[in-house]
Amino acid sequence: MRLIVAPTTLALQMSITAIYATFRLTGVARAGGLRLIIVSLGTITNLTLRPIPASSQVTLEFNSALADMCSLYILNVFGNSVDNSLFAEQRFSVGVGTQSKTLDISRIPAGTYFLHLRNSRELVSTRLVITR
């Protein structure tokens, strides 16, 4: 573990190894309380969407380090799930390795959204921009 002390801030860097993932503590902030910021380096990596911006379909690609069940859902910029009539949450199984999934986004209004992909170990997200 390496501890870095600056005149006005305290920064701590360390790595924690878990059974299926490695996590890196990237900072400790003190603003109205103590907050830990942890970035996962684990089971879902290289999450990409193509094309960006998209209009009717988007292809999701990612690597999975373990076979697992995944949930996929889309949130608006306010953190609310997109209405199920426009895009229903999807659940599917993935194997180890590169995964690809084509999504129909033709009923979702134009705007900026966040696509969330969750497995049993972590949640990752990426930005989705829809134009018409």
Residue 53 preceded by cis peptide, ω within 30: yes
Q: Please answer whether residues 59 and 49 qualify as being in contact, where contact means their C-beta atoms are separated by less than 8 angstroms.
A: yes
**Over the stretch 14-61, which tens digit does the pLDDT of each residue have?**
555 555 555 555 555 555 544 555 555 578 999 999 999 999 999 999
d(CA 13, CA 28): 9
Which one, of 14, 21, 18, 24, lies nearest residue 122 by Cα? 21
**Over the stretch 78-113, which tens digit does the pLDDT of each residue have?**
999 999 999 999 999 999 999 999 999 999 999 999
Q: What's the pTM?
A: 0.69
* Residue that the structure tokens 């426009």 belong to: 86
- With 0-12 / 13-18 / 19 or more C-beta atoms within 10 angstroms meaning exposed / middle / buried, residue 120 is exposed
